[in-house]
Amino acid sequence: MDKVNIAEKLSLFNDYCNPRIIGELNGQQVKAVKLNGEFIWHKHDNEDELFLVIKGTLFMELRDKMITIKEGEFLIVPRGTEHKPVAKEEVHILLFEPATTLNTGEVQNELTKNVLEKL
């Protein structure tokens, strides 16, 4: 058991849309990810997903509105809700979600990460 420094974990990689696992508890995972640009529309049928912004600004597009999430803020996207994360500039995010959560939800494409690195 040791503490985790979030910024330190984020300094270990520079690629986008590639979440790393930095903590695991109760069947859930804490992931660190960097985004830059538009991700894809997707949803998670069985998982609620928490996005906590560590640095920068995340724009979460929903079918009926757009939510701006700044540093120190989080958004919980309920299961079944279509969403598209958008970063106009680099943004650093902590995800808190079940271990079963796939980054692209029901979509399988070149962005899909079936296996995540643990840092």
Binding residues (CB under 8 A) for a copy of itself: these are: 1-7, 23-26, 28, 30, 47-50, 54, 62, 67-69, 72-78, 81, 96-98
- Residue 5 or 108: which CB sits closer to a copy of itself? 5
The 10 Å Cβ neighbour count of residue 94 is 20
d(CA 35, CA 55): 11
Torsion, Cα 100 106 107 113, to 10 degrees, reads 0
Q: Dihedral of CA 73/71/110/28: which sign?
A: negative
Q: What is the smallest separation between the CB atom of 22 and a copy of itself, expressed in angstroms?
A: 9
- Residue 49 or 105: which CB sits closer to a copy of itself? 49
β-bridge pairing 83-98 and 57-62: antiparallel
d(CA 104, CA 111): 7
Q: What is the smallest separation between the CB atom of 63 and a copy of itself, expressed in angstroms?
A: 12
- Residue 39 or 96: which CB sits closer to a copy of itself? 96
Q: What is the smallest separation between the CB atom of 44 and a copy of itself, expressed in angstroms?
A: 10
Q: What is the smallest separation between the CB atom of 34 and a copy of itself, expressed in angstroms?
A: 16
